[in-house]
Amino acid sequence: MSSPFFNEPFSLSNEIVVITGGGTGIGLAIARAMTASGAQVVLVGRRARELEAAVKALGPKASFVVHDVTRFASASELVDRVMGDVGTPTCLVNNAGIHLKKPAVETTPEEFQQVLATHVLGAHALTRLVAPAMMAKKHGSILFISSMASIFGIPLVIAYTAAKTAMIGMVRGYATEFSPHGVRVNAIAPGWIETEMSRRALDDDPVRKNKIVGRTPIARLGASEDVGWAAVYLTSPAAKFVTGVVLPVDGGVSIGF
């Protein structure tokens, strides 16, 4: 077939991808997969040292900008910087987030608001700025990294659950507005992925780790690159008719018993 969609269905060449929270963990795994698929990536985060190390490892297709997504008033400065240094973004990955493990009755409104500010308002502040240029070109993709907490109840993470669930509503709302103009909006809901953070949480708690693996049909934790390659798929021409979806990358946890 002569169609480029079939010749290189997973190619991200000529794509400029902004990844928030891109210096470590799942964000960095997404960056690795996307650069391997041909994309130019811009990592966004608060810690310059981590971003510098990530860019060095990724190579010439990567750069970074230090930015806190909760500084809503500065979101336009970030977008202008990316456009000036690299070009107009064609993909935004809303991955930046914070975690709060605490009983619901002990979670203060201020703590709740901080979690929402990072996951929800920070994502919206950037999405509303990059979407117009994408729609003008009739080409773009916006991806949210949600969580299993948006699919079923998990104790002690009420603020995180609310934020990740809100993301799903945002995906559907944005998709209905943006998709007629060539911009697709999707989400990934990772399950238990083996990262530095999850290792700290589980290595000293074998009972909890065994419980998690026991309810995962694939019977192991996922790897960060599992999320990275899913992100490539949803951003690539292979998914050109896919919008408004939430893709669990969880080894079957959401359908297991």
Q: Which residues are catalytic?
A: 160
For residue 78, give the H/E element and its range.
Answer: helix 75-85
Q: Which helix (H) or strand (E) holds 214?
A: helix 206-214
Yes or no: say if 131 and 114 are a contact pair by the CB < 8 Å rule: no
CA dist., res. 149 & res. 163, Å (int): 9
Q: How many CA atoms lie within 13 A of 126 on its CB side?
A: 31
Q: What's the maximum distance between 2 C-alpha atoms anywhere in the chain?
A: 60
Identify the DSSP state of 221.
P
